Amino acid sequence: MLKAVLFDLDNTLILFEETTFLNGYYPVLAARFAGIFPDGQFADRLMKATIELRHNDGSKSNRELFMGALCDGLNMNRDEVWSRFEQFFSQDFEIFKDAVTAAPGAGEAFRHVKDRRLKLVVATNPIWPLVVQKKRLAWAGLGDIEVDLITHIDNMSYCKPQLGYYRQACRLIGVQPEECLMVGDDPANDMVAAKAGIKTYQTTDSLAYSKKPLEISKKVIGNNLEGIPPADFSGPLTDVPRAINSLLGL
């Protein structure tokens, strides 16, 4: 019996051209760290630390692992470094709102989950803190809808595409993987949930919006399709309620 629906965020609930977004994002972020890291090292360290997250084995939080990799070999106060990230996220991040578009049907899909009294999870890759995930959720027009879990850098100790990520999310909401549906656009990072026993719905909205959806993320986080079965359902986000009803036998 279906008990929970998990939704990816990037190019599932919000649509955007990743290259355009990142070309604006990185310079603003780097300005927050001017003079803090050795010259020319911040961008490379940031990339290395982000890639390192996909290898987290569950022994520490994603933030612990990220900060350890970012500051590796440097005599730095990690709390002060993290506070600069927090300042950026709270003061600067909102300027990128206009770079994304809410996916059609996002609100209807969330409300359908609530109407069916199912648990609702925002299962976005937990590489950012909660404040950022909430901002991006609001950009999708979903900020006022109560959810049972938002995965973020502090409450998770795995990242997509690790199966540990999906198992940990299920534990946090108290359901079995077989009782969940994962909704997302990317086979390697979202439809891989099938290997943990989760039903899957692959959205197609991003294919019409971007010629290369999340191409950079695929290089950083991974794009291994080996052993991933075809999605149980596929189509636009607007058809997710129909898939939910099917799994509920309605």
For the ranges 21-30, 131-140, 155-164, 175-184, which has the lowest average pLDDT? 21-30
| Domain boundaries 4-16+100-248, CATH class | alpha beta
The DSSP call for residue 10 is B
* Band of residue 206 on the pLDDT scale cut at 50, 70, 90: confident
Q: Which of 230, 1, 240 is nearest to 118 (CA)?
A: 1
Q: How many residues does the chain have?
A: 250
**Under 8 Å between Cβ of 6 and 180:** yes
Q: How far is the C-alpha of 81 from the C-alpha of 45, rounded, in Å? A: 13
Residue 13, both tokens: 């609930």
pLDDT at 210 over 70: no
pLDDT at 211 over 80: no
Q: Which of 243, 248, 237 is nearest to 7 (CA)?
A: 237
Strands 119-122 and 4-7: parallel
**Domain locations along the chain:** 4-16+100-248, 19-96
Average pLDDT over residues 206-229: 68
Contacts of 21 (CB under 8 A, 6+ apart): 96, 99, 100
Average pLDDT over residues 139-168: 97
Share of residues in the chain with pLDDT > 70 (%): 94
Look at residue 214 in the predicted model and tell me its pLDDT: 58
Give per-residue pLDDT as tens, 4-21: 999 999 999 999 877 778
Look at residue 33 in the predicted model and tell me its pLDDT: 87
Look at residue 221 in the predicted model and tell me its pLDDT: 61
Q: Which of 131, 130, 112, 84 is nearest to 244 (CA)?
A: 112
Q: How far is the C-alpha of 11 from the C-alpha of 33, rounded, in Å? A: 28
